[in-house]
Structure 1
Amino acid sequence: MSIECLGYVIIRTEKPDEWDRYMCDVVGAMRAEAPDAGAAHYRVDERPFRFRIVKGEGERLIASGYRIDTRESLDILAERLIAAGHPISWGSDADAELRGVSAFFSVADPAEHGLEFYCGDSVAETDFVSPIGVKGFVTGELGLGHAVFAAPDFETSYKFYHDLIGFHATDLPRFRFLDTPDDPGIPFAFLHADNGRHHSIAFGQVWSMPAGCIHLMLEMTSLEDVKDCYARMEKYGVEESASIGKHTNDKVTSFYMKTPSGFDLEIGFDGLVIDPANWKPTAHDIPSEWGHEWAWQKAMAQNAD
């Protein structure tokens, strides 16, 4: 069985108009025609959609969808999850068609984050063209990017994703965010799928987030596009979560900004591409080589003054 990549995300929101402006005017995604009422689809490449935004009650990342190599593998994973006590729900043929996949099922992780696993995929009939001129996003066999979750019960979440589902360890750090000798650090797990992206999923031992996600990540094909997106964030009054910086483990140069649903979106460039078959897990103790000053860190510094 092979977990190929993160394919798409589905977000429920009471703010579809804000999401539309955010995706098109700030991020530079392409608006696509959704096949059903009450939803909007956004493209960043040749796939019919990567972001599905559904109008509904409350703000929530309701699913991140990961592609499995074959239908046989999908069935095996479903049986494995059921045997381990994790109920699954197979999607209808109509819902699979809506997603542009052959078949899929839904399941929740130990912290109640929604996941979908699917096989088969689709390609749009038209080319991706950013409405504001973004040159492109790094996807292809690396998938959409990554999703990061909270894992209050860290060991249980690690066993679920690594031992049961079959993601592979890339970096297992204990990040220190405070520059003090008594900072115990926070355990994180960065896990890769069967492709070269440093991680397609990650989680840390922090309390669960109301919107069901810490952050999603998109990688752009040029640093200039990242800088331009940062300028658009400021232009449109989007809240900055972390300044531009470079991560220690995946080497991405990026910044973070709030989405309309409250979780963060990381916009980055030049991420480390690993050899997934031969990678040996690392363990860093600081999240960034430089930059990435978080809003809460800025607030602490201001209060100290």
Structure 2
Amino acid sequence: MHRHFAAVIVVLQVFSIVASADNAVAVKDQLIALGGKLVEKGGAITELTITDCKKLGPAEFKLIGQVTTLKKLTLYGGCHGLNDETLPSLAGLKELEAIGTDGLKVTDDGLKHFAAFGNLKQASFFHTSFGMPGFTGVGFGHLKACPKLERLTVAGISMGDEGFAAIATISQIKDFSTWHTYQTEAGNAHIAKLPNLRSLKLGQRLPGKDRKATSLSDASLPTLVGIKTLEDLKIGEARFTLEGVKVLKGLPSLKTLLLYETDFPVTGLEPLKQALPNVRVTLEPLTEPQRKKLDQYVPLH
């Protein structure tokens, strides 16, 4: 009798293994059919990238949520189907370390679902809830519940300074990048409150009839000098003067400085390097398309 039960258990285990393997193959095939690019390690899917997410809906996000071995998930190309209702479908991705999104439509409260990713180290949000009524970006404060999160990007988002005030509460961030938001000059003071910031990429706010004043200029730089832990700084889409940028010599830990898509005098590069002798300074020359965009974002008076 005992042998009979043992044999039954072995058979059931075999069936379970076969069924599990068949399901894994089916999931993989479905992800590929959705345009997914996969990276596997030891037979497990560890990375998934979908660059056109416009057709993804509840069923597709449940499918992605089954891949519990994922460490990196990239959902670009108008991922509007990822919202307050579908985000919980991804809650089982406990091994996730990096996520990149473009166009998800969540409320501030809906951003709390990202707290389910306890191993998250890196998160990028592009065009999140752009133009959505009531969205302010304060929901990014929920990310402080991700203890390992060190790199965060928010860009192309219609959020103002209150969103940056919420981000300032994520004290574990070491690398922060932001551009093309509704930030004002005052938003820089919130960014400067991040106590462990090592790397910062800061671009210009989006222009608009209510956003004529710049968020990044010579006047911003003394605020950034308050980030004494800063080692790497990228600033762009602005008009800087030599004297304005020289104040960055007040950053004791600064090692690299990049001026990108920026109106800065080429003749000022060598004097700037002399003023910052311990910093590797790079100036990227403006291309003509970049100059035209800069004229739109920061008009010459």
Same fold (TM over 0.5): no
Asked which structure has the greater RCO (Cα within 8 Å, sep 6+), the reply is 1
TM-score normalized by the length of structure 1: 0.27
TM-score normalized by the length of structure 2: 0.28
Larger fraction in helix = 2
Larger fraction in strand = 1
Higher Rg of the two aligned structures = 2
